[in-house]
Structure 1
């Protein structure tokens, strides 16, 4: 993985390159960014740059022996650790290395949900167990085999429980030229003892224009589709790529139709529409709700008198201007909250008919009866 292959994040790339060229490489770094921001891709590209035998001023060469091994994720001085779903207490990351390589080569913007799909996860909880911690210590106690650096990329250290304290000594006093690159999404869930021993590299969500340009130029998507997916993904490339694998839908017209039925309190039509939503499939349901959340957020900006901050195509902007005539800021916030809660439960396999019917009734309450409820509903799983 070369820096040039990574979408956007130009400032972060330059910072990482400068740290190498100025000989300011910290032995323990935390790449902290939201899902789909490219944190893992940046860590791999950084490791490849450090190990490149013909390092360029702004990127690895991509053709030396080291780079070719990195491209296949098979360099002897590159090690990975990540959450997995252990079947046996002595399972470690190496047990699942073939699935890991397959997942990363398919999509470097990997999400935990996508990673779960490569494993026989059943109902197990992902974690990084004590056996894996001992394996990390064992691997990193050795000198580099080929390159100047031995590098461990630890994806999602949030899944290190108290067992992670076993790594403190080797993180604080590693062998010479041994680097820890932790790739995380939630700083609050990382053990403080580990957090305090790392140098922070903050990675922001991807820019709308960067995702749109990638979908247009690299994935051959039509202008309108690329714009909609970039908008729906909200800076998350993992979500944008996930949308490519599912049926393209006109979420705007579907969502506006739903709101209008709820505003008019057309019960029979709402029930029929819920039946349609229930048949979309989980990913399309998530995309539909995600579009709704973003659209309502734009409506809220219009109501707040900030049209210059609204990011909608012209036709959708006109629709939003019409919709805000029957909504208040409080109503948009309440609807957004209902949609976010529904999205959360769709991810956890809620019964779609019950879920969407309940959300419909709540939107009817908000738009038709001008009443905002308190609290949350628990949905019945499949």
Structure 2
């Protein structure tokens, strides 16, 4: 994995490269970033750069013996640890290394659900067990075989639990030329004893333009489809890639038509929408609700006078401006609440026809009859 293949994150890439060129490589580092930000890919690219035999100013060379082995994730000085679903108490990450290589090669932005798909998880809980902790200590007790550094990348240390305390000594007092890279999503779930012993590298979520550009150049999406997926994914490339596998119909047109039918209290149109939405499939229904929530939040920005912060494509922004002229912030917030509740129930397999009909009726009350749920103060337009 080279830096050039990672979407965006230019500031983080430069910081990592500078740490190597300026000989400031910390022995224990924590890559902390939300799902889909590319933090795991950055850690692998960083490890490859550290081990590269012909480092370039902005990336590893990609052709030396070390880089070729890294591209296959088969370098003798590169080790991985990650949550897995143990069938036996002595299972370790090495038991599942072939599946791990396949999963990362197919999608460097994988999440735990994607990883689960490569394993026979059944109903087991993912974790990093004590046998794996002992294996980590053993791996890091040896000297490097080929490169200057022996590197271990530990993905999702949140799953270490109290067994992680057995790693404190190897993190705090590692063997010479040992590099320990942790890749996490939730800082609050990491053992404080481990957190205090690492150098923090914050990886922000991706921005709208980076995801849109990637979808246009690498995934053959239209301008409209790329913009909509980038907007819906909210900086999460994992979500964006998953949306590519789903129906790419525009949620914008359908959502606006729905709001207009509710505003006009056209019952036949609301019923027609209910039938249509019920056939969309659960993932598309969830994405549709997420789009609606995001769209109305942009309307709230317009209503609050912060139009410059709106991220919608031009034609959608124009529609949002028109929508903002017929509703106020409390109404928008009330509808958002209804959509969030609907998203929650869709995830739990609620009957879609009943669900969408109920939400339609709630929106009609809010927009047409201007009746807000208790606790929300109405401000006239």
Do Structure 1 and Structure 2 share a fold, with TM-score over 0.5? yes
Q: How many residues align?
A: 375
Decide whether aligned partners of structure 1 residues 167 and 271 sit closer, same or farther in structure 2, where only a CA change above 3 A counts: farther
CA drift at 1:279: 2.9
Query: What residue in structure 2 maps to residue 33 of structure 1?
Result: 33
Unmatched runs of 5 consecutive residues or more in structure 2 = 376-381
**Is residue 2:295 matched to residue 1:295?**
yes
Which deviates further from its counterpart, 359-368 or 129-138? 359-368
Out of 52-61 and 276-285, give the one that drifted further.
276-285
1:380 corresponds to? none
1:78 deviates by 1.0
SS in 1 for 2:200: strand
Native 8 Å contact 2:110 2:238 kept in 1: yes
Written as runs of structure 1 = structure 2, the 5 A alignment for 1:190-209 is 190-209=190-209
3-state SS of paired residue (1:274):
helix
Counterpart-to-counterpart distance in 2, 1:84 and 1:13: 29
Shift of 1:46: 0.1
Structure 1: where are the runs of 5+ without partners? 376-382
Distance 1:364 1:127 in 2: 47
Q: Which residue of 1 aligns with 2:22?
A: 22
Aligned to 1:181: 181
CA distance in 2, matches of 1:183, 1:94: 18
- For the 8 Å contact 2:225–2:250, the answer to whether it is kept is no
Q: Indicate how the Cα distance of structure 1 residues 78 and 357 shifts in structure 2: closer, same or farther if over 3 A, else same.
A: farther
Measured in 1, the distance between the counterparts of 2:363 and 2:318 equals 21
Q: Determine whether 1:212 maps to 2:212.
A: yes
- Counterpart in the other structure of 2:111: 111
- CA distance, structure 2, for counterparts of residue 309 and residue 47 of structure 1: 37
Aligned to 1:249: 249
Alignment partner, residue 338 of structure 1: 338
Relative distance call for 1:175 and 1:278 in structure 2 (3 A) is: farther
Larger Rg: 2
Match for residue 379 of structure 1?
Answer: none
1:160 corresponds in structure 2 to 160
Alpha carbons of 1:263 and 1:97: their partners in 2 closer, same or farther (altered >3 Å)?
A: farther
Q: Which residue of 2 aligns with 1:83?
A: 83
TM-score w.r.t. length of structure 1: 0.91
Q: What CA RMSD, in Å, does the superposition of the two structures yield over aligned residues?
A: 2.2
- After TM superposition, the score normalised by the length of structure 2 is 0.91
Shift of 1:9: 0.8
Query: What is residue 61 of structure 1 aligned with on the other side?
Result: 61
Secondary structure in 1 matching 2:257:
helix
Aligned to 2:141: 141
SS at match of 1:135: helix
Deviation at 1:318, TM superposition (A): 2.5
